[in-house]
Structure 1
């Protein structure tokens, strides 16, 4: 059974935003390698549209090799977009989901293959409420943003996590790998 992995960047004060954080060569390299370990990534409309930025890096490569490598990795991995407003996607490796989130995830979990990543806050919250996330990979950047969207908004039930490992970057960011504890 495939794992559903929520992978997201956030600040010390708990806000998640793909435009916040302190990405550097090591973090880009980490996410490039991570994308190679998955079969797809799930996005909501807002995050998908933000991630379209990486197509411009493919067209006009950066002076940073790590950014170019990440652009190639994000371009390659299949993307499933959940949106009520987007009807077509330009990115060749992206498709619009034809079923609801729960149906798609339950179906993907049953298929053979590698992990499925969830890269949108809204989808992570929905999947948490459904108990369908197997692992959280939270990259916490050493900064206070002061504003934005909190990751764990509108969660009304207590959820206990088990820390299974961590990874520290030279810029002070840390990835915490958590698995939700199953109720016994």
Structure 2
């Protein structure tokens, strides 16, 4: 069975803000490898539209190998976008889902193939509530944003995680790899 992996960058103060991170060659290479070893990535509209930036590097490479390699990897991987507002994806490797998130993920998990990535905060929250995430890869950037969207906003259940490994980057970021250790218990 395929694993669902929630992979996201966040700040030390727990916010997910694409502009607050400190991407470098090593981080780009890490995410390029993750994409190359996965079968599909799921996005919500907002994150998907942010990721469309990488299409520009396919047409006009930056000259920085790690960024250009990431652009190729993000272009190749099939993307499923969950949105009520988008009418089309404008990206050949992306499709709009016409099914609910839970149904799509349950069906994908049953199919053979590489793991399923979830790259949007909103989808991570929804799938966490549905108890469908098998692994969390939280890349904590060495920066305090001072505000933004908290990763685990509106989670009303207690979830305990088991740390399965860590990866430290030379720039100071650390990816924490977690698995859920137990079933959720509603807080009272």
- Correspondence for 1:167: 167
- Correspondence for 2:179: 179
Once superposed, what is the RMSD of the aligned Cα atoms? 0.9
- Correspondence for 2:85: 85
Alignment TM-score, normalising by the size of structure 1: 0.98
1:19 positional shift? 2.1
Pair 1:117-2:117 in alignment: yes
1:183 positional shift? 3.0
TM-superposition CA deviations, 1:79-114 (whole Å, max 9, x none): 000000101111000000010000000000000011
- Correspondence for 1:59: 59
1:182 and 1:135 map into 2 onto residues whose CA distance is: 13
1:181 positional shift? 1.0
Find runs of 4+ consecutive structure 1 residues off by over 4 angstroms. none
1:167 positional shift? 0.2
- Correspondence for 2:22: 22
TM-superposition CA deviations, 1:35-70 (whole Å, max 9, x none): 011100000000000000000011110121100000
The 3-state SS of whatever aligns with 1:154 is: coil
2:87 and 2:34 map into 1 onto residues whose CA distance is: 29
1:183 and 1:46 map into 2 onto residues whose CA distance is: 30
1:19 and 1:116 map into 2 onto residues whose CA distance is: 25
The 3-state SS of whatever aligns with 2:172 is: coil
Alignment TM-score, normalising by the size of structure 2: 0.96
1:104 and 1:65 map into 2 onto residues whose CA distance is: 34
- Correspondence for 1:13: 13
Count of residue pairs brought into register by the alignment: 184
Structure 1 gaps of 5+ residues are none
Structure 2 gaps of 5+ residues are none
The 3-state SS of whatever aligns with 1:138 is: strand
- Correspondence for 2:37: 37
The 3-state SS of whatever aligns with 2:70 is: helix
1:173 positional shift? 0.2
